[in-house]
């Protein structure tokens, strides 16, 4: 019998899980009996999401993603090289708004707030602990090594990356054992973090060293939140600590900080991924893109430019994101095809009908 489970975990601003019983739920779900799920998904939303919106976002993405994974997996010849399996999916809800009251006037200032520290706290405390529980539950005879798929949108990328950075610290320090064969697939959709944060010595500089880790990063020049407001928010934050430099940064939008989802990773990052055996590839996603386009992409770091498809969707008024541009335009055919193709690998250039 095929079976998957989905749970949502509410977390406070310090990264503390509200419901302490969730630990036992995760341990039970990850145990070798009765489930022994091969696939695990961890989703984290980004800024400007209250509880209702986060749940709606997770519900929509998980259902649509599952539909695409199932339909693509049924194609012949087999499209996927590593087929989707029964899964446990966990949605992380963390407070990423000034207020959870949707009618509050404070929401008008939302795009100029900067949730970098809160996102890191959620990742370092809650998601890190969840990953440890999962891995510990799969040690021993009869256990199946999990394929852990982590998806972060916007500042949710910081939740994911900070958890993995701390996990690497434990693995490197030999304070945690990882089941042999465990793999990590990391999907960063329009990531709102500095584009040099994955460099050696930076806050997520060791994530690349995780064994069997692959990463997908999307960028878009239609993402106004990242191409324009990320820089402004960073400059305003700097004014508090370095007033002169902060003011200079505010009026020099061509200078750093740059968002990872606007500029893509630095060349240093790309070179350092390659140095640890993780070569990179780049692909442009347009209206004709489908998962089969990733055939022969044997890369551990995939950078996907969504600008062409986002531009078309804006021009045809399929999505109008207002102040944020296309920052949250992540629920459509080409995105699901991209994520499925990345997570499960492409074995054949199979003809894909419209889904």
pTM of the model: 0.90
Which pLDDT band holds residue 237 (cuts at 50, 70, 90)? low
Q: Which residues pair with 90 in a beta bridge?
A: 7, 42
Please report, to the nearest 10 degrees, the dihedral formed by the alpha carbons of residues 20, 46, 316, 59 taken in order.
0
Provide the pLDDT confidence category of residue 233 given band limits of 50, 70 and 90.
Answer: low
Longest dimension (CA), the chain: 63
- Say whether pLDDT at 239 is over 60: no
Above 50 in pLDDT, residue 110?
no
Sequential DSSP letters for 233-246: HHHHHHHHH-HHHH
Out of 33-42, 182-191, 331-340, pick the least confident. Answer: 33-42
Does 168 have pLDDT greater than 60?
A: yes
Q: Is the pLDDT of residue 218 over 90?
A: yes
Share of the chain above pLDDT 90, in %: 62
Q: How far apart are CA 110 and CA 96, in angstroms?
A: 9
Lowest mean pLDDT, pick from 32-46, 178-192, 299-313: 32-46
* pLDDT score recorded for residue 251: 52
Average pLDDT over residues 252-276: 90
* Mean pLDDT of the residues in the chain: 86
For the chain, strand residue ranges (E) read: 5-10, 39-44, 87-93, 147-153, 183-189, 213-219, 280-284, 301-305
**What does the pLDDT look like over 140-153, one tens digit per residue?**
887 899 999 999 99
Give CA 275 to chain center in angstroms.
23
Q: Where are the domains of the chain?
A: 5-344
Predicted local distance difference test score (pLDDT) of residue 234: 59
């Amino acid at each position: 019998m095929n079976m998957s489970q989905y749970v949502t975990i509410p977390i406070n601003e310090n990264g503390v899980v509200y419901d302490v019983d969730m630990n036992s739920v995760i341990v039970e779900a990850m145990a070798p009996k009765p489930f022994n799920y091969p696939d695990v998904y961890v989703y984290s939303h980004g800024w400007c999401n209250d509880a209702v919106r986060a749940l709606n976002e997770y519900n929509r993405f998980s259902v649509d993603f599952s539909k695409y994974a199932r339909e693509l997996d049924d194609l012949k010849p087999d499209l996927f090289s590593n087929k989707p399996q029964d899964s446990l999916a966990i949605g992380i809800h963390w407070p990423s708004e000034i207020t959870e009251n949707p009618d509050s006037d404070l929401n008008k200032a939302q795009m100029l707030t900067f949730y970098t520290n809160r996102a890191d706290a959620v990742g370092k405390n809650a998601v890190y602990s969840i990953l440890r529980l999962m891995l510990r539950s799969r040690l021993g005879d009869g256990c199946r090594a999990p394929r852990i798929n982590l998806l972060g949108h916007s500042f949710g990328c910081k939740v994911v990356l900070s958890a993995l950075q701390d996990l690497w610290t434990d693995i490197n320090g030999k304070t945690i054992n990882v089941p042999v064969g465990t793999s990590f697939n990391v999907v960063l959709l329009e990531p709102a973090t500095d584009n040099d944060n994955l460099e050696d010595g930076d806050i997520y500089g060791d994530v690349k060293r995780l064994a069997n880790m692959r990463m997908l990063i999307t960028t878009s020049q239609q993402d106004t939140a990242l191409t324009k407001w990320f820089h402004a928010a960073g400059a305003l934050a700097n004014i508090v600590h370095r007033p002169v430099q902060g003011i200079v940064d505010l009026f020099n939008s061509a200078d750093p900080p740059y968002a990872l989802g606007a500029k893509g990773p630095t060349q240093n990052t790309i070179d350092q991924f390659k140095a640890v055996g993780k070569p990179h590839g780049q692909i442009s996603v347009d209206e004709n893109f489908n998962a089969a386009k990733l055939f022969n992409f044997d890369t551990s770091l995939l950078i996907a430019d969504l600008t062409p498809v986002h531009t078309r969707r804006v021009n045809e008024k399929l999505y109008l994101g207002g102040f944020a541009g296309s920052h949250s335009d992540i629920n459509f055919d080409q995105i699901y095809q991209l994520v499925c193709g990345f997570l499960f690998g492409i074995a054949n250039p199979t003809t894909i009908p419209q889904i």
